[in-house]
Amino acid sequence: MSRIGKKPIELPRGVTVEQEEGRIVVSGPKGMLSAALHPAVTVSFRDNTIVVAPAVRGRQTPALWGLTRALIAGMVEGVSRGYEKKLEIEGVGYRANLDGTTLELALGFSHPVRVEAPAGVTFRVEKNAVVISGIDKALVGDVAARVRALRPPEPYKGKGIRYSGEIIRRKAGKKAATAGTGAAA
């Protein structure tokens, strides 16, 4: 049994769900998303809720049941509220600018790094932070990970791009390593 798969999904106002042959389409005020359904699960609609249930018994069925329910719940939340990832930029001379839909980053390289916003994703720059938003949870997370990978935070000074609230484990560096050995001579 899947604990996640058993939970019904409540539909907020303005969100509609349709089931086509092997696909589910969720549309709402922010847009429309669709996903393929695995034949091992069935999706039924009651009142203002969606219920996902296993269609066949098998070894993979509980995992597919929970996965399908989580994907549909993510689509419902995406078309109603949307998703955001906030990245903080830290370092001397590190900054971000927005040129139309293109994010232009100065990250200490000899050239500015330009990142094009894929369809369905928007960038917003606030002081030393970049906010990536959209309706597709996986796409927003993927774009945020790609931007962070351009200059991941380094452990000595903490310079780089990090997720908002991410804690970077810092290393002591040379001073702390040689402080105790210098007095022996």
- Residue 178: the pLDDT is 65
- Residue 184: the pLDDT is 54
Q: First-to-last CA distance in the chain?
A: 68
- Residue 77: the pLDDT is 95
Global pTM reads 0.86
How many domains in the chain?
Answer: 2
- Residue 1: the pLDDT is 67
Domain that holds residue 108: 83-163
- Residue 176: the pLDDT is 65
Average pLDDT over residues 160-177: 87
Are residues 63 and 91 part of one domain? no
Asked if the structure places residue 139 within a domain, the reply is: yes
CATH number of the domain encompassing residue 36: 3.90.930.12
- In the structure, what pLDDT confidence band is assigned to residue 183 with cuts at 50, 70 and 90? low
Are residues 116 and 59 part of one domain? no
